[in-house]
Amino acid sequence: MSARLGPKRVLLLEFNEITWTIVEPMLATGKLPTFARLRREGAWASPRSVDLPPHMDPWVTWVTVHTGVERAVHGATVLEQDPSTIKAPRTWDYAVDAGKSVGVFGSISAYPPRAVPGFIVPGTFAPSSATFPRSLEPLQDLNRMQVQVHHRNRRGLSLSGMLSQGIDVLKLGVKPSTCAAIAAQLAREIVEPHQRFRRIAIQPLINYDVFEALYARHRPDYATWHTNHAAHYMHHYWRAMDDSRFTSPCPKDERRKYGDAVEIGYKLCDRLLARAMGLVDDDTILVVASSMGQQPFVNDEYPEGKITLRFKDISSVLRLMGARGVTALTPVMLPQWNVTIPDAVERARVKELWGRAHVVGKTSRSAFITTATGDVLTVTPVCLAEPDPDARYFFPGAPNARPEGYPIHELFAMDTPTTKQGMHHPTGLLMLWGKGIRAGVEIPDTTNLDIAPTLLHLLNIPIPDIMSGRVLSEAWDGSPHRGRVDRMPPERVRAAAQRPAAPAGN
């Protein structure tokens, strides 16, 4: 077979941070039958992230996957940062520029949505509910509400509100089986309140139902679908699954409550993968990817794990700083917030105040990590290594701050069910399956820079010169693709980078 396998449609499933470290033991015990089938019938790899600490985060590594260039080129730093500060086109931009239809669902940095032949639903941490077409906004309203409820800065809807929103989302394609799963989950929580952790697995069911309906309607040449649920479970419950690599054993009650959480997340990935295989025809290649993986959180500074501090009301802290001109407050990955301040002088003043803030307690230290990207300050409370109920927070220079400081319980809640248990690891997962893909082939020596040129090659789109990764043609012709044929000239790269937002009314 020649190095060219295409043109093909491509369906990319983005299972954030899934790792062979967990997949392989579950394969051995027969718990992931669909992953086992793909491993038998397709090609697979363990790409390593070229983005390393302090930038080994999904909001960086996924942008690397989608742009095919390193962070120094694309510029991603924080989650859903000012879009104008991302300096490289994504794979879907190249596809649209090449005259192909696209369907982007949940992918990081897909905001703001642009008018495309197809559809775009940005990630759940997007700063607004804008979608293309606008008829999909009720779903994004639901997704963003769930993020805010998770931060507990917003209550859930009333019964009438739930019914109204449910009707809107049902019209978009949510299946009766998903409605039954929601009802079963709510009933389960009445009997066992700790089972609330399973709610995280409901959101991807709703989103995939809608994606599946959109995919069937549009049959896009290139489609992506993203879920973070497995990463969430690993971050919170890895020790409950297996404490063999941790410095402290898992408490029995924690294991009883959450010992199956990580496997629940991976089994859901397996079921969704089976459904995606049902969408694939002879002209489509299914790609499963994570931009990096996870590993047990083991850190000498946190022998019992990190205790997450959640803002009770970040607006109250901004008021004591006298912050002016704040145009948006957006919760992102717990416990982070994006604070948008367009005025550069005021933004710099507020950033300095966040930097001066410190805590005095069992350990005295800086209280926050603050990053500036474009108009946005991303604020992260520094976690605790152990409970410290007498800690006090001070804000030197803040015009409205009390000189005696603030007790920790006034500013923060510490209500996550467990300490942090999973951390990022550079090695991710990649699988390719479909007609023309070789069976049972492992592709060695890969990075997350190789994914974008491989996808574009399958789509029969010239590869931009700015991409340094290689086409993983071992998946279909048995040998590495080393040529530089079908390269995209710089002027076409610049054209693809022009990503106007979707106009109102679409």
* Residue range 49-58: mean pLDDT, rounded: 94
* Residue range 345-350: mean pLDDT, rounded: 98
Q: Which of 357, 312, 308 is nearest to 335 (CA)?
A: 308
> pLDDT tens, 289-341?
999 999 999 998 898 889 999 999 999 999 999 999 999 998 888 899 999 99
State residue 495's pLDDT score.
59
> pLDDT tens, 422-473?
999 999 999 999 999 999 999 999 999 999 999 999 999 999 999 999 999 9
State residue 20's pLDDT score.
98
- Model confidence at 394: pLDDT above 70: yes
The band of 393, judged by pLDDT with boundaries at 50, 70 and 90, is very high
Chain-wide mean pLDDT for the chain? 91
3-state secondary structure of 332: coil
State residue 500's pLDDT score.
56
> pLDDT tens, 128-181?
999 999 999 999 999 988 876 655 555 554 444 455 566 778 889 999 999 899
> CB count, 10 Å around CB of 61?
27
Spatial CB neighbours of 244, under 8 Å, sequence gap ≥ 6: none
The band of 78, judged by pLDDT with boundaries at 50, 70 and 90, is confident
Token output for 482: 């080393």
State residue 481's pLDDT score.
60
> pLDDT tens, 274-296?
999 999 999 999 999 999 999 99
174 and 139 Cβ atoms separated by less than 8 Å: no
State residue 483's pLDDT score.
46
Q: Which residues pair with 360 in a beta bridge?
A: 392
> pLDDT tens, 213-235?
999 999 999 999 999 999 999 99
* Residue range 477-495: mean pLDDT, rounded: 58
Better-predicted residue by pLDDT, 175 or 487 = 175
Distance from C-alpha of 411 to C-alpha of 311, rounded to nearest angstrom: 6
State residue 268's pLDDT score.
98
Report which secondary-structure segment, H or E, holds 482: none
Which domains does the chain show, CATH number per domain? Answer: 9-298+422-487 (3.40.720.10), 310-413 (no CATH)
Better-predicted residue by pLDDT, 13 or 154 = 13
pTM reported for the whole predicted model: 0.90
DSSP structure class, residue 44? E
